[in-house]
Amino acid sequence: MREFLLVLKISLIDGLNLNGMKPKNIDKKRLWVVALIILCIPSIGILYRGYLNLISNFSEAFVAISQEGFLVALSYNVISLLTLMFGFTYVSSYFYFSKSTDTLIPLPLKNSSILASKFVMIYLYELVFSILFISPILFNIGKLQSYGFLYYFKSIVSILLVPVFPLGLAAIIMIFLMRLTNLSAKKDLVRSFTLYLSMIVLIGAQLYLRKIFSEIDFTSNNDFFMKLVTDNTFLIESFAYTNPVARWLGLGFVSGDVSNFLNYSLFVIANLLTFAGFIYVGNKIYLEGIIGGNEVASTTKVITDKELDNQVSKRSNVFFSIAKIDFLTIIKTPIFMINCIGVIIILPVILLFSLFNEGTEIKQQILNLQANYQDILPLLIAGGIILIIAMSTTQSTTFSRDGKAFWISRIIPVSPAQHVIGRSIVPFFISLALTIIVVGTSVYFLELEVVTIILITGLALLGVLPIIFLGIAVDGYSPKTTWDNPQRAVKQNLNVLVAFVVYGVLIYGLWKLFDLMQSSFDSLSIVYGIYIVILMIVTVGSFYIASKVIDDKFSQHIN
């Protein structure tokens, strides 16, 4: 225990940068970031307030029909699925790609101490979501039912346990995956592939199960309303096959007999057993996964004269050479690949599943939407593409991903404009692939004219450029190059948040501008014509901003 606490203390200080948070250690040049976050708090507060109101209404409705246990089970189901999905990337980066692991492995520490301390680190991140999203539900129900101390005690225990099962499961799966993928010569590729596959299977399973339940016509069943009123576990039973842990938790929160207490006990035991299972599996095979992962591929062939000739004869211009380095770094680092390219792999899967499951229904809904919003349909579809790219971390972490190798970008004789173009190529191709997928799907669903297709494509590709350039500017201003695992370069990077704020302002401004123009001009062609010209000006302006930032800042960074 002492050993675990010791490792945990060091992991927390290092992982959460606790020393850097001390006022005397805060870099004054980054105070503006702190100020920006403080400014964001009210807007996030407004959104959270909306969530609280929604939950309050839901709680009242479910309590009124005595189905509050279902609400608890449902919220747990959503949060645990999200935790499981994010858990894969967190576990792989903290357990396997963190430099601190290399420091800890040679020390005389038990595997379990290293694993448990890392688990707690990830658990703390996930616990924040549990507190923010599940606690309002439990406390609303407690308030409405005027429950006593025992209920609140149980609620706190539940909130603390929410991340344990999905995270433990993700960790066990990842430990097995890492052990198995060590057999492969192309570990990084295989690991990225298995991560994607796991996510796709999860999404597919959820959508498939949703389809099964949506096909059950509850309302035609005469017993339904009777059961709804008389049986307060009726809805919870729908989780019997999809997520039994959610069912146990839901039943545990239904006031009543011993069986409900037993169900709650099962929830607690499931969490504790998963944690114990994770420690057991970790103790057995974690180390082999780590060591195998660090092993040099001894099968790599020595480069022959012919291969050398081939390699060196492939001269590229500076833009493509920078883009190539950027691309190789992304695809050879599973965490980067998941975060940067994930959208163009996951989105088509979701679209395909949706088509397979609910094709006709969705098509009808979209056709209705098309009929109602004919004029702005190109802008809506292009706007969707732009929003997805704005949510991507590819551009706003481009220099951060270089890590300690960032110095190379700063000493090479490359102009700021060349840097910006080079760094834009990968995110632009991601945007292009996304545009093809979305436009292709739109063509399938809607009877679009060629002009409309061209307009959507043009608006989308022109619209993503300022997003890409501004993301590069944000990261170029203050890249996070000091990180000990790749997760921190893309997920725990403030530049992503700052970029979101910048994109938010830009997208809101552009949306308002279109609105204004639409009310000022009668001809839609004129509106779109002027709008494209404005987008071009914004693109040039953001390119200039990115170039200027790189020109000014590349000789000012310390690291």
CB count within 10 Å of CB 35 equals: 10
Whichever of 305 and 522 has its CB closer to other proteins, that residue is 305
325 binding other proteins? (CB under 8 A): yes
Task: Candidates 333, 424, 457, 478: give the one binding other proteins (CB under 8 A).
Answer: 333
Q: Tell me the number of residues near other proteins by CB under 8 A.
A: 43
The number of C-alpha atoms within 13 Å of 88 and in the hemisphere containing its C-beta is 23
Cα angle: 501, vertex 506, 509; to 5 degrees: 125
Torsion of CA 430, 432, 437, 438, to 10 degrees: 110
Query: Greatest CA span in the chain, whole angstroms?
Result: 81
> Own/partner pairs for 365-370, CB < 8 Å, 24+ apart?
366/445, 366/446, 367/445, 367/446, 370/446
- Compute the least distance from the CB of residue 484 to other proteins, in Å: 13
- Compute the least distance from the CB of residue 105 to other proteins, in Å: 16
CB 398 within 8 A of CB 474: no
Task: Candidates 309, 361, 375, 515: give the one binding other proteins (CB under 8 A).
Answer: 309
Tokens of residue 15, six digits: 């992982």
Whichever of 538 and 546 has its CB closer to other proteins, that residue is 546
- DSSP letter, residue 523: -
Task: Candidates 308, 367, 391, 505: give the one binding other proteins (CB under 8 A).
Answer: 308
Whichever of 130 and 333 has its CB closer to other proteins, that residue is 333
- Compute the least distance from the CB of residue 406 to other proteins, in Å: 9
Instruction: Give, as ranges, the residues between 139 and 198 that touch other proteins (CB under 8 A).
Output: 188
CB 32 within 8 A of CB 494: no
Q: Is 433 helix (H, G, I), strand (E, B) or coil?
A: helix
| Spatial distance between the Cα atoms of 450 and 456, rounded to a whole number of angstroms | 10
- Compute the least distance from the CB of residue 329 to other proteins, in Å: 5
Question: What are the start-end ranges of the H helices in 65-148?
Answer: 68-91, 99-104, 111-133, 135-145
- Going by C-alpha positions, the residue among 121, 93, 126, 104 that lies closest to residue 3 is 104
- Compute the least distance from the CB of residue 302 to other proteins, in Å: 5
Whichever of 126 and 402 has its CB closer to other proteins, that residue is 402
CB 343 within 8 A of CB 384: no
- Going by C-alpha positions, the residue among 399, 459, 392 that lies closest to residue 427 is 392
547 binding other proteins? (CB under 8 A): no
Give me the residue label for tokens 């950027």.
Answer: 326
5 binding other proteins? (CB under 8 A): no
The total number of residues shown for the chain amounts to 559
- Compute the least distance from the CB of residue 409 to other proteins, in Å: 9
- Compute the least distance from the CB of residue 99 to other proteins, in Å: 11
- DSSP-derived secondary structure for 95-117: IIS-HHHHHHTTSS--HHHHHHH
363 binding other proteins? (CB under 8 A): no
Q: Which residues contact 30 (CB under 8 A, 6 or more apart)?
A: 478
554 binding other proteins? (CB under 8 A): yes
Q: 3-state SS of 439-466?
A: HHHHHHHCCCCHHHHHHHHHHHHHHHHH
475 binding other proteins? (CB under 8 A): no
29 binding other proteins? (CB under 8 A): no
- Going by C-alpha positions, the residue among 291, 330, 283 that lies closest to residue 96 is 291
Give the binding range for other proteins (CB under 8 A) out of 64-72, 311-319, 390-398, 540-548.
Answer: 311-319
Per-position x/- string for 398-437, each x denoting binding to other proteins as judged by CB under 8 A, each - no binding: ----xxxx-xx-xxxxxx----------------------
- Compute the least distance from the CB of residue 478 to other proteins, in Å: 15
Give me the residue label for tokens 């499951």.
Answer: 357
Q: Is 295 helix (H, G, I), strand (E, B) or coil?
A: coil
| Spatial distance between the Cα atoms of 137 and 518, rounded to a whole number of angstroms | 43
| Spatial distance between the Cα atoms of 367 and 428, rounded to a whole number of angstroms | 30
Whichever of 202 and 325 has its CB closer to other proteins, that residue is 325
- Compute the least distance from the CB of residue 156 to other proteins, in Å: 44
Whichever of 211 and 324 has its CB closer to other proteins, that residue is 324
296 binding other proteins? (CB under 8 A): yes
23 binding other proteins? (CB under 8 A): no
311 binding other proteins? (CB under 8 A): yes
312 binding other proteins? (CB under 8 A): yes
- Compute the least distance from the CB of residue 412 to other proteins, in Å: 5
Per-position x/- string for 374-403, each x denoting binding to other proteins as judged by CB under 8 A, each - no binding: ----------------------------xx
280 binding other proteins? (CB under 8 A): no
- Compute the least distance from the CB of residue 316 to other proteins, in Å: 5
300 binding other proteins? (CB under 8 A): yes
302 binding other proteins? (CB under 8 A): yes
Q: Which residues contact 364 (CB under 8 A, 6 or more apart)?
A: none
- Compute the least distance from the CB of residue 321 to other proteins, in Å: 4
Residues that bind other proteins (CB under 8 A): 188, 296-297, 300-303, 307-309, 311-318, 321-322, 324-325, 328-329, 332-333, 402-405, 407-408, 410-415, 554-558
